[in-house]
Each structure stands twice: as C-alpha cells, then as structure tokens.
Amino acid sequence: MGSASPSVSPRIACLVAPDFALEALYRAEPGLRDVPLALVDDPGPRALLTTVSVAARRLGVRPGLTVAQATAICATLVFRTVARTDPEQSPSQPPSVDYRHAAQAALCEVAASCSPRVEDPSQVRSTSPHDTANADHGYGTVYFDARGAPFPSEHALGAALTVRAARVGLNVHVGIASTRTTARLAAHQHVGVTVVPWGTERRFLAPLPIALLDLDPELTATLTRWGITRLGELACLSPAAMRTRLGPTGATLVRSARGEQRTPLAPTPAPPSFIEETQLDYGIDTLEPLAFVLRGCLDRLVARLALRSVACGALQLSLALATHTREERHVAVAAPTTDVKVLLTLTRLQLETTPPAAPVEAVRVTALPARARAAQLDLFRPAGPTPEHLATTMARLSALCGPGRVGAPTVTDSHRPEALTLTAFAPSSGAAIPSPPPHANACYLALRAIRPPRPVEVFANQGRPDFVRGDHFGGRVVALAGPWRLAGEWWTDDCFVRDYYDMGLSDGGVYRIYRDAHTAAWFVEGEYD
C-alpha cells in the first residue's frame, strides 16, 4: 500500500491503561492502591494469580502462583476476583462486580472528549489476530481519530488526554501515529505521550520485537525459525512472497511492520447511560456507610458525564441484597445537574423513605444523561433558587410529608369546589399574572379554604340555622346568607347535592358552611378573612 501525503494521512491516537485490571479496581476502591493485592479468575485456594500489585511484587508474590502459595508468602495479601462469577455455579455467593466495564467506558469518554470518532476494541472484534488491542478482549485500549482536535499540537493533545484520564481515576499512556498498529505499540512501549511523525513509522517500529503484534504461538514459532525476531526484519520481506507462504495474513504482517497497514476505525456509538458498580466486602444495613459507598459511585459518574458535556437527568439504583435478590430504585431529578452533593442528597432521601429490605452487598448506580438547562436571569427581579437546590428541597419535603403529598396544586375536571390534584412542581417563568382593575365601590373578601371540610353541628329554628358548634369555634348565627344549591356528577355513583350558607357567628367569625342533602350532615368549608 502506498504512503499518503501528510495532508490526507489519517492520524490515529491510542489510549492504553497499563495493568488495566488493577487500574479499574483502584478506580473503584482507592484504598487498595497501597496494599498487597492479587487478582484471581475464580475464588478458591487453587485459583491462579493473574495480576499482582507493585506492593505484592515487593514481597515476592508473582503471577501464576496459587492462592494458597501466595498466602504462605504474604499473609496480609488481599484477593479480588476479576471475572464475574456465575450465580448458577455459586448460588451461595452473589455475583462479583467486574470493574473493567465501567473503567473501559470511562476510557472511551476520555477519548470522546477530544474526538467524535472513537473505537472501543472491547466492543469491536477484529478479524486480524496481530491487530488485536490486547489479549483481554480489548480492555484497557481505545482508538480515536486525532485529526481536527482543538489543540495546538499532538503533544498538547496527549497531555490533555492524560490529565482528563486522571480525573476519572485512570493512568494512561498515549500514542499518536498514522496507523492503528503504530499508535498502539507507541503507547505500549513508552510512558506518557509518544508522537510518531508522519513518514517515520517504519523507523520507529524496526527495533521492536514481533511478539508485540500479539500473533498466535504457531505463527510466532514459524517466524522465529526463519530468523525473524524484530519488526524491522519482517518489514524487509516482500509482501507478495509472504502472501505465497502464509496467505493474506503474511502480506498484512509485512505492511503492519512497515507502518503501512491502514485499517479504518469502527466508531462505537455513545452509551445511552452511564453505569458504576461497587462490590462490598460485607452487607451494609445502615444508611451512613451506604451513603459513603454511593458517594464514590456518584463522583465517578459525574466525572464521566463532564467529559461528555452532559448532566445527570435521573438516577437508577440497583441494590444486591444479602437475600440474593435485587431492589430497583428510581431517583428523579427535577433539573439536570452535575452537583454530586445534590444527587447524593436525593438518593439518601429516597433510601430514608424506603430502606432496603436486607443488608446491601453490591450497588449499581446508573445515570441517565441529559442536557443541562440554561437559565435566563431577569435584570429587574431577584434570582430565584437554582434548579438543583429546588430539587433537593422538594425531595426533603416529600420525605417528611410522604409520597404524593408535595407538588403544585392543579384543578381537575370536576364541579366539586375542593377537587384538585398535585403535579410535579416546576418554577414559573417569572412573568406577572395580570389582575383585573380594582372597582371603586367593590369590597373584596378572601375565603380561607379548609381542606378537607370539617364536620360541625348546626341547630335550626323553624328551618333556619340558629346555632353552630364546631371544633375551636361556634356561636349563635347573627347574619345569614343563603342557601344556594350546588349539585353535580349526577351521572356517576359519587354524585353530590349541597346547600351552601354564609354565616356570621357571635364569636366574630364569618364562615362558609354547607349541608349535604344525601346525609344531612353539616360541614364548614372556609372562613372569610
């Protein structure tokens, strides 16, 4: 394949997180970073160690040892399971959390903050064995198109990527080159940021061993028998001759060793939600330690949302309980926000209202992204509460008063005076409601409604109300207006017929009282101010 000119040559950036399984675990549990730690595929004393931390290596622990052997070397060694266990095979234990999924998604979001064309190798299966990101299903590696990135240079782009990766708890190496293979090897072989200028790919790759291409063992043995151990030696061969001996794979190997194999990116679509999980060492049955765990999940979620330039529109909680069941919770957010304190408060209030039925052993928090709502301030009116603080206040009131008892009153389609319902409260735009012009001779009275209407006793004299006795008020009727009848909903089983009176009592109050024609009971509906 011929070389393209620098003006049209693609530029591929590769992010690589070394020791990705450890980095993913450290991201979820920062307290494990300085302790001797080993990762295993399955629980049990005969399980083999796949990865060990630096602190464990200093004590003599190495990958390949069994759990029993490693424990004999270091009694304080901490073990964590990498893969998710199958609940059908281990019904006595809840499924373990695979932290790599969230860490890989965070790595993709770091790349997406600089380019819209991002490829996640863990979601794309390459048909070329030598171009596979790594042996662990692509975890820990992300590719993206580096052309057009808003940075003065590619070195500045790489420096920005390392800083943004640190914000989401990952340590990455960055490689930028004209081909995927060159960018990946540059990131794997060098710490920090490595930029391979256009036209120097072959010279950069020449001293590297062929083992870095992740070839299958049989092909590696064949090339070794031919005396080929470096990419520079492989690049000197003829692609046509290699195709004759090894098929299409041989020609592809030569072009990759020369830095000429240009495989297009397969962009991965943005996720519809952001998920963070945490596995607990023991069940939590109180709110304070559970809130501490949730705070860590929310911190990581908000950092990832910020990289995508979106806010949290709603939260979904999935709690794995000690009874091997799950509780699903939905936390509504009045306005999209990235304030961790607000999100944690809303989550705490939801859990306080309805505590989990059993101790919690694992937590999964899902954030649904939404665009942050812009607020236009008024030059002549004081600023109201922010949507985030308003959402927190509404959640606190709901926790105190109970569900369905806090909101904005809305008139329903009914003839009953007291008919209303509560809807979600949304602040108005601030526009003043026009009021009718005052009448010169009008006398206005305000009726303070009593909800629900309270029962009272009314004593009549010749069919006319004469005395009223109620809770904390009552007296002789000194002024009376009425009755006037209000009837409605006769087409339903809950029809009503009422006779209304306005009564001035000897206690100095003026009240609106009605008589239910069906039950002959009296009720006070309001008091005039």
Q: Is residue 214 part of a domain?
A: yes
* Predicted confidence (pLDDT) per residue in 183-198, tens digit: 999 998 888 899 999 8
> Do 142 and 220 belong to one domain?
yes
> Do 55 and 130 belong to one domain?
no
How far is residue 442 from each of residues 292, 437, 445, 457, 509, measured CA to CA in Å?
A: 61, 11, 10, 33, 21
Which one of 370, 402, 437 terminates a domain? 370
| Alpha helix ranges (H) inside 366-419 | 387-401
Q: Is residue 503 part of a domain?
A: yes
Three-state secondary structure call for residue 64? coil
Q: Is residue 209 part of a domain?
A: yes
Q: Is residue 435 part of a domain?
A: no
> Do 287 and 366 belong to one domain?
yes
> Do 253 and 322 belong to one domain?
no
Q: Is residue 465 part of a domain?
A: yes
Question: How many residues make up the chain in this entry?
Answer: 529
Q: Is residue 401 part of a domain?
A: no
Looking at residue 507, what DSSP letter applies? T
Which neighbouring-strand residues pair with 70? none
Q: What's 315's domain CATH number?
A: 3.30.1490.100
**In the prediction, which pLDDT does 108 show?**
92
Query: How many Å apart are CA 245 and CA 464, to the nearest integer?
Result: 115
Which one of 346, 370, 394 terminates a domain? 370
Q: Is 288 exposed, middle or buried (0-12, 13-18, 19+ CB in 10 A)?
A: exposed
DSSP character string of 422-457: EE-------PPPP-PPPPTT-----EEEEEEEEEEE
C-alpha torsion sign, points 161, 162, 165, 170: positive
**In the prediction, which pLDDT does 143 show?**
93
> Do 226 and 111 belong to one domain?
yes
Backbone angles phi, psi at 260, to 5 degrees: -115, -5
Q: Is residue 499 part of a domain?
A: yes
**Under the phi-then-psi rule, with left for phi > 0, alpha for psi from -120 to 50, and beta for the rest, what region is 482?**
left
How many CB atoms are located within 10 Å of the residue 116 CB? Answer: 11
> Do 222 and 284 belong to one domain?
no
> Do 128 and 249 belong to one domain?
yes
C-alpha torsion sign, points 198, 203, 204, 208: positive
**In the prediction, which pLDDT does 220 show?**
84
Overall number of domains in the chain:
4
> Do 139 and 252 belong to one domain?
yes
Query: How many Å apart are CA 72 and CA 66, to the nearest integer?
Result: 10
Q: What's 116's domain CATH number?
A: 1.10.150.20
> Do 469 and 508 belong to one domain?
yes
**In the prediction, which pLDDT does 432 show?**
54
> Do 160 and 252 belong to one domain?
yes
**Domain of 475, in residue numbers:** 447-528
Which one of 344, 370, 396 terminates a domain? 370
Task: Give the H or E element holding residue 347.
Answer: helix 340-353
267: Cβ contacts below 8 Å, ≥ 6 apart? 116, 117, 118, 119
> Do 213 and 180 belong to one domain?
yes
> Do 463 and 503 belong to one domain?
yes
Query: How remote is the C-alpha of 348 from its chain's centroid?
Result: 16
pLDDT tens, residue order, the chain (529 aa):
444 555 557 889 999 998 888 888 888 888 888 889 998 877 778 888 888 898 899 999 998 899 889 999 988 898 887 654 444 444 344 446 778 889 999 999 999 999 889 999 888 654 444 443 344 567 889 999 998 888 889 999 999 999 999 999 899 999 999 988 899 999 988 888 999 998 888 899 888 888 888 788 888 888 888 888 888 888 888 888 888 888 888 888 888 888 888 888 888 888 888 999 888 878 888 888 999 999 999 999 999 999 988 888 889 999 999 888 899 989 888 778 888 888 898 888 888 888 898 999 889 999 999 887 666 666 777 666 666 677 667 777 776 776 667 777 777 777 777 777 777 776 655 555 566 666 666 667 788 888 888 888 888 888 788 888 888 788 888 888 888 888 887 787 778 888 899 888 888 888 888 988 888 888 988 888 7
Three-state secondary structure call for residue 360? strand
